[in-house]
């Protein structure tokens, strides 16, 4: 699909409801599309059945509007995750990226317009494995690694309405709910055998069928792991993983680039430590802030920033305007703007890497 085309042109009210209202909260029940069909029919006044809803989800995925249908994992709760960066020499930039991207535990890597020009995420089943990977990357690339694990999560959610003309994420919303959640670098999921098998089975999404949870149960039973769950077992396990925060949400995962949100900026702030939680919660509650979290300073590496925010928008000017507003009204502190200029790797966290060495 061309990014220049209006991807919304041929969408109707049913498509819009699927895209904007089912990014989370998807029913955890044997035939979830039947409930979605009833809810959307009542909301839109369009008589649509479960098969039609399923066809629409398939179509939106094929068009690239949805990346996938299924669960969004919360890696820091299950294993050990960190943001990291290197200063890759321009004449070796691609070589360094190839080394970093070669690790299956690296699920995001972006070029950013900064001295630290390559930013990536390492997610593993334990802190030890995570740190071994960082040390290997440093040795193999001959580039110093800046490791910045998340210490406090104030707000992290890329769920926002996109079937609109909003210039930046959540422009049409007034506020979001936040809380300061401490993150342990030594987190281990403490998963049952069924939960571990379940995460492995759904890592690339749920089956797009009328009975996705029953299909997952069958897949687990056929995997040879020795676990033979019923559909009720799978439903209960999904509910537990949602309640424990291992799964952040279940729904249709939107492709923000295809839907026009092509500009994002990571802004790093030097906030006084005694104001950090107050400022973090206040900023995280702003609807246009899609990510807000505390990471450590690294003064020995000349990194003095401890609060990270991200803003997504359709136009760079709109994103910059919101950052100006942040600085003027909420965070009157030294900061830097790190625009993403290229996506070097973007995948979901691999669940086997989270459960395999976290025993």
Digit-coded pLDDT (tens) for 46-59: 999 999 999 999 99
Q: What is the pLDDT averaged over residues 207-216?
A: 96
Q: What is the pLDDT averaged over residues 75-90?
A: 86
| pLDDT reported for residue 357 | 47
Q: What is the DSSP letter of 300?
A: G
Q: State how far the Cα of 167 lies from the Cα of 308, in Å rounded to an integer.
A: 21
Q: State how far the Cα of 305 lies from the Cα of 319, in Å rounded to an integer.
A: 20
- Candidates 92, 168, 132; CA nearest to 325 is 168
Residue 6 has pLDDT above 90, yes or no: no
Q: State how far the Cα of 79 lies from the Cα of 77, in Å rounded to an integer.
A: 6
75 vs 108, more confident: 108
Other Cβ atoms closer than 10 A to 279: 20
Predicted structure pTM score: 0.75
Residue 74 has pLDDT above 80, yes or no: no
- Candidates 251, 198, 256, 337; CA nearest to 32 is 251
Q: State how far the Cα of 353 lies from the Cα of 79, in Å rounded to an integer.
A: 9
Bridge partner list, 249: 72
Q: State how far the Cα of 311 lies from the Cα of 322, in Å rounded to an integer.
A: 8
What is the share, in percent, of the chain residues with pLDDT greater than 70? 84
Q: 101-136 b/e with 16+ CB inside 10 Å = b?
A: bebebbbbbbbbebebbbbbbbbbbbbebbbebbee
Q: How confident is the model at residue 204 (pLDDT cuts 50, 70, 90)?
A: confident
Bridge partner list, 112: 340
Q: Are 65 and 254 spatial neighbours (Cβ–Cβ below 8 Å)? A: yes
H/E stretch holding 310 reads strand 307-313
Residue 224, CA atoms < 13 Å, CB-side half-sphere: 0
Q: What is the pLDDT averaged over residues 268-275?
A: 97
Residue 273 has pLDDT above 60, yes or no: yes
Query: Minimum mean pLDDT among 88-92, 118-122, 262-266: which range?
Result: 262-266
| pLDDT reported for residue 275 | 96
Q: Are 109 and 344 spatial neighbours (Cβ–Cβ below 8 Å)? A: yes
| pLDDT reported for residue 112 | 94
Q: State how far the Cα of 263 lies from the Cα of 154, in Å rounded to an integer.
A: 22
pLDDT tens-digit readout, 124-177:
878 888 999 999 999 999 999 999 998 988 876 666 666 767 766 666 666 555
Q: How confident is the model at residue 321 (pLDDT cuts 50, 70, 90)?
A: very high
pLDDT tens-digit readout, 299-318:
999 999 999 998 888 888 88
* Phi–psi pair at 121, nearest 5 degrees: -120, 130
Q: How confident is the model at residue 2 (pLDDT cuts 50, 70, 90)?
A: very low
Residue 187 has pLDDT above 70, yes or no: no
Local structure of 170: helix, strand or coil = coil
Bridge partner list, 109: 120, 345
Q: State how far the Cα of 296 lies from the Cα of 148, in Å rounded to an integer.
A: 6
Residue 70 has pLDDT above 80, yes or no: yes
Q: State how far the Cα of 152 lies from the Cα of 108, in Å rounded to an integer.
A: 20
| pLDDT reported for residue 359 | 41
Q: Give Dmax (Cα) for the chain.
A: 63
Local structure of 47: helix, strand or coil = coil
Residue 12 has pLDDT above 50, yes or no: yes
| pLDDT reported for residue 182 | 53
Q: What is the pLDDT averaged over residues 275-303?
A: 92
């Amino acid at each position: 699909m061309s990014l220049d085309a209006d991807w919304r042109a041929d969408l109707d009210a049913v498509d819009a409801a699927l895209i904007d209202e089912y990014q989370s909260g998807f029913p955890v029940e044997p035939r979830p599309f039947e409930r979605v069909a009833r809810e959307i029919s009542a909301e839109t006044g369009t008589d649509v059945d479960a098969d039609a809803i399923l066809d629409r989800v398939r179509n939106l995925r094929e068009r690239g509007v949805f990346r996938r249908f299924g669960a969004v994992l919360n890696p820091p709760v299950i294993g050990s995750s960190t943001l990291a960066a290197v200063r890759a020499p321009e004449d070796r930039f691609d070589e360094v990226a190839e080394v970093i991207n070669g690790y299956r535990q690296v699920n995001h890597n972006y070029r950013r317009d900064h001295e630290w020009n390559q930013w990536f995420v390492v997610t593993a089943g334990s802190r030890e494995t995570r740190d071994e990977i960082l040390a290997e990357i440093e040795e193999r690339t001959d580039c110093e690694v800046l490791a910045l694990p998340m210490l406090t999560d104030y707000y992290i959610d890329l769920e926002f309405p996109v079937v609109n003309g909003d210039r930046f994420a959540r422009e049409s919303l007034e506020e979001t709910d936040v809380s300061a959640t401490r993150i342990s670098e030594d987190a281990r999921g403490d998963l049952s055998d069924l939960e571990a098998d379940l995460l492995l089975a759904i890592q690339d999404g749920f089956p797009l069928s009328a009975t996705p949870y029953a299909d997952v149960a069958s897949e687990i039973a056929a995997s040879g792991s020795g676990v033979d769950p019923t559909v009720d077992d799978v439903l209960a396990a999904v509910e537990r993983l949602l309640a424990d925060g291992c799964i952040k949400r279940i729904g249709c995962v939107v492709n923000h680039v295809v839907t026009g949100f092509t500009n994002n900026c990571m802004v790093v702030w030097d906030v006084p430590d005694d104001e950090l939680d107050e400022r973090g919660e206040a900023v995280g509650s702003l609807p246009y802030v899609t990510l807000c979290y505390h990471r450590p300073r690294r003064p020995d590496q000349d990194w003095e920033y401890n609060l990270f925010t991200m803003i997504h928008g359709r136009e760079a000017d709109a994103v910059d305007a919101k950052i100006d507003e942040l600085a003027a009204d909420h965070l009157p502190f030294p900061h830097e703007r790190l625009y993403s200029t290229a996506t070097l790797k973007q995948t979901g966290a691999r669940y086997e890497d989270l459960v395999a060495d976290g025993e």
